[in-house]
Structure 1
């Protein structure tokens, strides 16, 4: 059997606990199409050791977005992220696999496992900060929740109940958006300074550039494309993909185009 068919499948402990059936289905599909070595990683240390000892086997992670980010960060620290494609079978709660879906990985266990076997490696950008941390897709300040909730359309009965509650009790006031004093620079050019409060900043890596959006409190959003972004100011936290980091006073992110590969369904 050729080297690309040799797989190291690292199964995250959270995935095994929360959805063992999806894990079983995925491993059955993988075993049917490749030579598979299974590693049950109960701790982050075991997860890292498994990847470090993979040899010539292609790494496959079964887990949620956090497991994917752990793998990317580990391979980046080893300076082996660009050496071969990483594969993912997303297993987790709906809100815990949003990053995987945004990257193009199928969210069903069978479809994702088949993509591992029959898909193609796609080069993706990476944001690397000045502490050697990595961001796969994007970051935002303030940190906020991992994703936006999906709002289902209300039924007629829901609308009636809402109307009754409104008539009986005044609706609560909408809390004011907090302003942040941040200095935002892109490729050495100033987008926003400390004396111009902002409601938030987002940075998204896409198509070989970092797309930056600054939302001032009393003006239209300011947009720019860059290869390096520096944000500084009052102590702030930020959400990088699915993880919250900080507080920090300043941080610089540099775009690395096509820095890593992820196996996705063949076009």
Structure 2
């Protein structure tokens, strides 16, 4: 039997607790089509240890987007993403599988498990930061929270009064901005003297598509391989996870850095 047919199936403990039936179906399909070693880690740490000890077996993870991110991050830290491919059988609530489905993983458990056995490897870009963090889908720099001193009932009264007077809502009070310096491939896109409402980044075709939304101007867009954001302490959201505060962070796009097994066209 070839190494391709030898699987290491690592089941996320959350998936096992939340949907045992889907886990059973996935195990049955995978075991029927390949030699599958099943691992049942009890914690994220045990999950990573099991994946790290996979040997020559092809890794398959059962879980949601967090499971996929954990696996990709581990393989990136081991510098082993370029060799082989990762497979995912998505198990979890729909809103916890948005990244997996956006990447092309089937929604149904049997279809995803069959794709592990009969699919093809698609090479995907990866956004990597200078602390070895990874981004699979989207990076966002959210705005600083606005004033929170007023009680909700007060704001409701104000909005009602504004509607009664038929005047524009006082949106200036709700504007949330950052003072950020954004550089793309060493070229300045915006500086700290320009208030920025948001920054979004996606890796497409081996490059980062960067969109900056100034508070009082049209969006500024650029394509680059390296993005550096600096300024007063800011938090950022990567694949739904909030990180920070930090004062400087650099992200680099690695084209076709990792492989994911998907259904054949």
1:237 matched to which residue of 2? 235
Question: Is contact 1:143–1:239 with CA below 8 Å preserved after alignment?
Answer: no
> How far 1:134 sits from its partner (Å)?
1.2
Q: Aligned equivalents of 2:220 and 2:123: distance in 1? A: 29
Question: Is contact 2:10–2:61 with CA below 8 Å preserved after alignment?
Answer: yes
- Structure 1, residues 128-172: CA drift from partner, whole Å, max 9, x if none? 11111111222101189xxxxxxxxxxxxxxxxxxxxx9xx9499
Q: How many residues align?
A: 244
Does 1:190 pair with 2:188? Answer: yes
2:148 matched to which residue of 1? none
Of 128-137 and 86-95, the range deviating more from structure 2: 128-137
1:1-267 mapped onto 2 (5 Å cutoff): 1-142=1-142, 170=160, 176-267=174-265
Secondary structure in 1 matching 2:107: coil
2:149 matched to which residue of 1? none
Secondary structure in 2 matching 1:41: coil
Q: Aligned equivalents of 1:90 and 1:238: distance in 2? A: 26
Q: Aligned equivalents of 1:59 and 1:177: distance in 2? A: 46
Q: Aligned equivalents of 2:242 and 2:70: distance in 1? A: 13
Change (3 A) 1:14 1:177: farther
- Structure 1, residues 180-221: CA drift from partner, whole Å, max 9, x if none? 111100001111110100110011011111100000111111
> How far 1:177 sits from its partner (Å)?
3.2
Question: Is contact 1:126–1:205 with CA below 8 Å preserved after alignment?
Answer: yes
CA RMSD of aligned residues (A): 1.9
Secondary structure in 2 matching 1:83: coil
Q: Aligned equivalents of 1:41 and 1:221: distance in 2? A: 46
Question: Is contact 1:232–1:250 with CA below 8 Å preserved after alignment?
Answer: yes
TM-score, structure 2 as length reference? 0.88
Question: Is contact 2:7–2:57 with CA below 8 Å preserved after alignment?
Answer: yes
Structure 2 unaligned residues grouped into runs of 5+? 145-155, 164-168
Q: Aligned equivalents of 1:106 and 1:75: distance in 2? A: 23
Structure 1 unaligned residues grouped into runs of 5+? 145-165
Q: Aligned equivalents of 2:204 and 2:175: distance in 1? A: 28
1:152 matched to which residue of 2? none
> How far 1:261 sits from its partner (Å)?
0.4
Question: Is contact 1:65–1:242 with CA below 8 Å preserved after alignment?
Answer: no
